[in-house]
Structure 1
Amino acid sequence: MIFLHEGLGSVSMWHDFPQLLCTELGYRGLVYSRPGYGQSTPRAHQEQWGMDFMHRQALEVLPALLDALYIDANHQPIWLFGHSDGGSIALLHAACFTEQMAGLIVLAPHIMVETLTIDSIKQAKVAYEQTNLRDKLGRHHNNPDSAFWGWNKRWLHPEFEAWSIEEEIKAIQCPVLAVQGVNDEYGTLEQIRGIARRVPQTQLLELADCRHSPHRDQPAALIQHVKTFTARQSG
């Protein structure tokens, strides 16, 4: 099971959740920080990510990582576990590499841009500039400016409002568990319900008393649901 972090995430920001989940499932897990995040190579100072930055992570970077680590997904199909932007990347990868996928678990993924998302990302920009958010992110990123501004400037670019993967995800063939908190501040439940309409084998999990990070807000419930879901697929 490969873990794909959120738009401001990294290996360390998962804390012990991947270990807890993989121990419960009896799976091997792979956790990595994408370029620009954590201890990975930071984004160059003037580099601006393209509108297709999630596509490139899904279709270029992740396949290259699997090759570098000698992971043959054709021989042993993989599970992807993605959160937020990582969930979108997981969906895109699964839509392209259909024969290599055992299944998907996506938490608070984005399949299109909503006003709520943009408003929250604008608030994050203010917090980064005016509060101690930069110091907090500095605990998890070698270069917090690389991580924050790469993500924030792309999402807030006017052209990004038209971004959508609603049509592309129709190609997904593997089982999907789409999870979202009812109180998610970065997206409405239409994000995962939109997946279910386009990918009929999707199972939805809408968690009460949960915001944008189900693995932090409801870890025990999430692990139990994932365990049941994966067991049903293997069974």
Structure 2
Amino acid sequence: MPTELPLPATDFTLLFPDHYLRARTLRHPSPAADGRPWLVLLHDSLGSIRLWRDLPARLATALECHLLLYDRRGYGESAPLGPHPRTPAYLEEEAQTIPAVLAACGITRAVLFGHSDGGTLALLAAATAPALVAAAVTIGAHVFVEEETLRGIRAARQQYTTTELPQRLTRYHGANTEGLFRAWTDTWLSPAFRAWNIEPYLPRVQCPVLVLQGTHDEYGTEAQVAAIAGQVAGLAQAKLLEGLGHTPHRQDPALVVHLTATFLRPYLGLGPLPG
């Protein structure tokens, strides 16, 4: 694995007509990085820039590329969610905003790395904006609703009322905390969401896809992995991570970085990982 470098980080705000997003870039010092696709991180339903911890720097170092991460609308330090309740198609709708985010950052070609909701967004963006997406990596992504997912969300909702979960989330999301938590739980647990399914998009994904999921994922089964890897049109590699749960990038970040870099480096014009 390449030695981790101190990568210059820049925090800034992206302004759109009806909202704003907080964003951060990490720039790799190699001149060759300017010619490579950017790695773009898409967080989960409770995530934020800060909750990625040191993973962005580790990924950018291993892939010798520039990296963008941002707080999705309603998360972290970004603008609150819009005035209208989420619809069952909220992920499909949000995926349509990703090209505008990348354009605002001057990014014309990207590798999308997404966890949970973020992995679903990566697949949807790859399907609907294929010229923009060079490759995708998903961790614990969902393409349909499973009872395991709903069971995990019900447990999280219970924890929200009986533990210090709200206080912990508030450290990362501030005034957005209540809104984002209710939007996530209320939408996924609504009867209207049971029929949600994005499998029809998968054959439109032409780029290479790495599909990762823990064998002990609290929010999904191996059926999600099989559906993604079996239906995308591009080359797909699936890996079940033994003993890990829904956040393997936190439980074993070195493993996730290694698997991601090994898969992506050839598509970025790089040789095998040193060592």
1:48-94, Cα deviation, whole Å (9 max, x unpaired): 111111111111x21221222222x2xxx210000000000110000
1:143-194, Cα deviation, whole Å (9 max, x unpaired): 2102211111111111101000111111000000000000000000110111
The structure with the greater share of residues assigned to helix is 1
Deviates more, 1:14-23 or 1:113-122: 14-23
The equivalent residue for 1:223 is 257
Give the counterpart of 1:134 among 166, 176, 183.
166
**1:47 Cα deviation from its structure 2 partner:** 3.5
Alignment pair present for 1:48 and 2:85? yes
Letter of the aligned partner of 2:183 in structure 1?
Answer: G
The equivalent residue for 1:13 is 51
Give the counterpart of 2:64 among 23, 26, 38.
26
SS in 2 for 1:3: strand
**Contact residue 43 and residue 115 of structure 2 kept, 8 A:** yes
The structure with the greater share of residues assigned to strand is 2
The equivalent residue for 1:98 is 130
The equivalent residue for 2:106 is 70
The whole-number CA distance in structure 2 between the counterparts of 1:101 and 1:70 is: 14
1:106-128, Cα deviation, whole Å (9 max, x unpaired): 00000000000001101111111
The whole-number CA distance in structure 1 between the counterparts of 2:172 and 2:154 is: 21
The whole-number CA distance in structure 2 between the counterparts of 1:192 and 1:233 is: 22
Whichever of the two has the greater Rg, that structure is 2
Letter of the aligned partner of 2:106 in structure 1?
Answer: Y
Unaligned stretches of 5+ in structure 1?
none
TM-score, scaled to structure 1 = 0.94
The residue correspondences of 1:101-180 to structure 2 (distance < 5 A) are: 101-142=133-174, 143-180=176-213
**1:199 Cα deviation from its structure 2 partner:** 1.6
SS in 2 for 1:36: coil
Letter of the aligned partner of 2:252 in structure 1?
Answer: Q
**Contact residue 37 and residue 146 of structure 1 kept, 8 A:** no
Alignment pair present for 1:191 and 2:195? no
SS in 2 for 1:6: coil
**Contact residue 87 and residue 187 of structure 2 kept, 8 A:** yes
The equivalent residue for 1:213 is 247
**1:232 Cα deviation from its structure 2 partner:** 2.8
Higher relative contact order (CA 8 A, sep 6+): 1
Among the aligned pairs, what percent are the same residue?
39
TM-score, scaled to structure 2 = 0.81
Letter of the aligned partner of 1:232 in structure 2?
Answer: P
1:9-52, Cα deviation, whole Å (9 max, x unpaired): 111111111111111211111010111100111125x6311111
Deviates more, 1:20-29 or 1:180-189: 20-29
Number of aligned residue pairs: 229
